[in-house]
A and B are shown apart, each in its own frame.
Chain A
Amino acid sequence: MSTPIIEVRDLSFCYPGADTDTLRNVNLTIERGDFVAVVGGNGSGKTTLCKTFNGLVPHYWQGEFAGSVHVDGIDTWNSSVSELSTRVGYVYQDFQNQLVRPTVRDEVAFAPLNFGLADYDDRTSDALDALGIEALAERFIWQLSGGQAHLTALASVLAMRPSVVIVDEPVAELDPARAHEVYRRLTELNAHGITVIAIEHHAEFIAEYARSVVLMSEGTPVWHLPVEDAVNRTEELEGHGIPAPEVIVACRALGAKKAPRSVQAAADFIRENTREDAWKQSIRVPATQRDTSEVVLSAREVNHSRKGVGGKAQPILRGLNVDLYQGDRVALVGGNGAGKTTLLRILAGLDVPRSGTIEVAGVNTRSRSAARMANLVSYLYQTPSKMFLRDSIEADIRLFPAGRKADDVDELVEKVLTRVRLNEFADRDGRTLSGGQQRRAALAIGLAMRPSVLLLDEPTSSLDIASRDDVTDLLNELSDSIACSVVATHDMHLVSDWASRVLVLADGHITADLTPADLFADTELLARTNLVPPQIVRLGSALGLDPPPLNVADLVKAVRTSAVVEA
């Protein structure tokens, strides 16, 4: 057996001024060619641990360093970030900020050039090739979609031909389809002998792609186990904020001893262990009758285009028509670049379309300034930190009602804070809150504007599962104060858990207007719009349930009618 690629012995690390060690007595061995998922709650030290592998700790982030880390036989304490970076590549969670060059090719060639490697051209082509993004080589970085930018960041570390690649929460900033794409590429790299370390808290991805799992807690690894064993410790993982994948929950409920790691494996398990005829009939979810009596927002023949760098107007919306009704919970879905954000901005009256009309509660958006439209409809940005203008979330919530001289400002702020359960953080700057709290704070800002229509852009992206469920619950509670909410999202869990109506935006107009269940049953539509249904829906589809169940309970109910044989 070859020597391990990374060997950590009795490692402790303390940031200057910190009371406790961020890492304490870490012992860890990572074998060459492994695909390791590092999991653990916020503040468990997983990012700091990964930064010891390429020398950022202790050479860049300084502090007290005890014990040793050997990477490829090199003692990191005696080495430097430069030397270690030729062996260990690091892709950041906010990877957009690690891209510093104007074009993709320049970006990928950047590190080899800095290190004066004469074969930088070959390295660049190889790295682009390995990830299948040669076609993007001459693109400007700011033209890339999130997924493409992530692959570019990955290519730029691959150009150094590292033995280890560390990827910090790729799912956080990417939609699920892109995240799967990134993981598939990582799996390919892994097959070619590169050790992959991923910081990840989506059990779904861990189960499907990793080979071993390190659970971190309070600065030290709790265990390092092969993935088969790790994913079966569902309670323990749940205790650290990593809920088990839906397929595992479902199969466990159906009596499986060993949890299947992918949708296909789960489907096979259920097929093998049940009598098919029992569950073959699908369960019909009764269609809820929609109340279409009161139109809250209507868009008629909306056309919009944006001038690109080339100077040509690129059409985004073409002849779009839609009516939103009182009580609607609309999920707006569509591929990247379909124009979801543009549409939300137009519906909110932030922008006006080139032609066509938008009426919100009978008011034409052309007739009022964006600031006055804000009384009727509010739009929440995808990145909550963009909404934090003041030095405390309370001041941010207060800004709108106080600016408009509402009489009940204090009362309103208090009420909204309570509603989003952030009273104790009222005087904190929004940026210092955790991801889930930031979303809730942004939501509070929107609520304090007391709109009749609330528009949200990707409210659950880059959240861990617990915070995501939190936001979904909160959205569920809003129906009493908001006439109608629209959520642009890639998150199919949110669609299945919350939405009453799905609008599919493609080719510049609404190509489908249907219920979540109908959406998930339409595989052709899903593929065309680049959507990945939740695992449980995919499992249902794999079993031939039509319409597929939207949650674990429904699936279990559908299958339970027959006895499950011991696995």
Chain B
Amino acid sequence: MTTTVRTGELRGNSFNGKDLSTPQKLMIFVLSMSLFGLSNILVEVIPEFTIGPVEIALAYFVFIPLVLAALFNPFWVALGAPLGEIIFTDLLLGDFSGIGEIEGFIQMFLAIYIAGSLIRNPLSKAQVAFGAIMIVVIDKFLSAIVDLSKVWFGLEDAEFVEGLPESMLLIEVIGFGVDILLSGIVFGVIPALWLVPKLYGRIEPLMGMQPRQPGKPIQGSTPGIGITVALVFVLGAASAVFAFLEAWGADFGAAEWEWLDTYGPAILLVPAAIFVVLLAGVFVFAGKQRKQP
């Protein structure tokens, strides 16, 4: 091409390989919101099978946020996807639960962000597969806690309905298994393993970005691991608190906080503790991944 020398004085290079510019963040966010929103509409029209109380239903197309989180900065993907779900399906289909949406948003945000952060190399099959499962595990685990507590506190004296807590737990466990299998594997791992390598190096230039370098921190990485852990923990706690807020709301009229007397305030720490254990596992895994060349 042109071999002549540049005559103009170099003003500088506005490109900085580390940070994402605001529009780039917005692009990832909008893409994630649109695609996950669209996929949620599709999920809504897929027939569901109900065998007794156990629903065999597809929760979401996990591979969509996962593919994006593997290729782009997971933070912005995680922010966009649950918003897409809320706007496209919940709001439009009248399934909007007002304040309750916040709890769903936080669950999904955490699930995608943590799972996406685990993927250091988008071309590693193991990491992508693990990420897909993790999204479902984290999301469903958080929502199971919320569900159980809703029933527990939404019903007056639920513990007096004989056998109910046990069967509720059983139903949750079966539901959990179904979700891992259907949402996590059939519509998670399998499509993601196919799609990530196909899109890698193709989709980034379309959005004016460079493909992610395996092993290197992703462009626009959120600050150090310490802050990340803190952030995730705060959000996790917030999610639990929201669940409990709802539960409190349910009890305002009738109950006299008996459960608090029965179990003591320590009950509040149960979900938080479980969450911390989960997180610890995640970061141990993440640490191992990073050490690998």
Contacts and interface: CB of A to CB of B under 8 A. Distances in A.
Whether the complex brings A and B within 8 Å at their CB atoms is answered yes
A66 B6 contact: yes
A25 B8 CA distance: 7
Interface stretch (A8-16, A165-173, A294-302, A446-454): A8-16
B11 A67 contact: yes
A21 B23 contact: no
A25 B202 CA distance: 31
A68 B11 contact: yes
Give the one of B9, B11, B13 with max A CB within 10 A: B11
Contact of A220 (B2, B9, B206, B208): B2
A219 B1 contact: yes
Given A16-B15, A16-B17, A219-B1, A66 B10 contact: yes
A12 B8 contact: yes
B13 A62 contact: yes
Contacts of B206: 431
A62 B14 contact: yes
Interface stretch (A53-61, A326-334, A541-549): A53-61
Interface in B1-48: 1-2, 4, 6-17, 21, 23
Question: Is the interface on chain B under 10, 10 to 19, 20 to 34, or 35 or more residues?
Answer: 20 to 34
A187 to B, nearest CB: 33
A12 B7 CA distance: 8
Contacts of A219: 1-2
Contacts of A66: 6, 8-11
A65 B14 contact: yes
A425 interface: no
A64 B9 CA distance: 11
A216 to B, nearest CB: 12
Contacts of B4: 24-25
B280 to A, nearest CB: 38
A16 B21 contact: no
A20 interface: yes
Overall SS of chain A's interface? mixed
Contacts of A16: 13, 15, 17, 210
Contacts of B21: 60, 62
A429 interface: yes
B198 interface: yes
A38 B206 CA distance: 24
B23 A20 contact: no
A10 B8 contact: yes
Contact of A65 (B12, B17, B198, B208): B12
Nearest to A81: B23
27 contacts: A10-B6, A10-B8, A11-B8, A12-B7, A16-B210, A17-B210, A20-B1, A20-B2, A21-B6, A24-B1, A24-B2, A25-B2, A25-B6, A25-B7, A58-B14, A60-B21, A61-B208, A63-B14, A63-B15, A64-B13, A65-B10, A66-B9, A67-B6, A67-B7, A67-B9, A220-B2, A431-B206
Interface of B: 1-2, 4, 6-17, 21, 23, 198, 202, 206, 208, 210
Interface of A: 9-12, 16-17, 20-21, 24-25, 58-68, 77, 218-220, 391, 429, 431-432
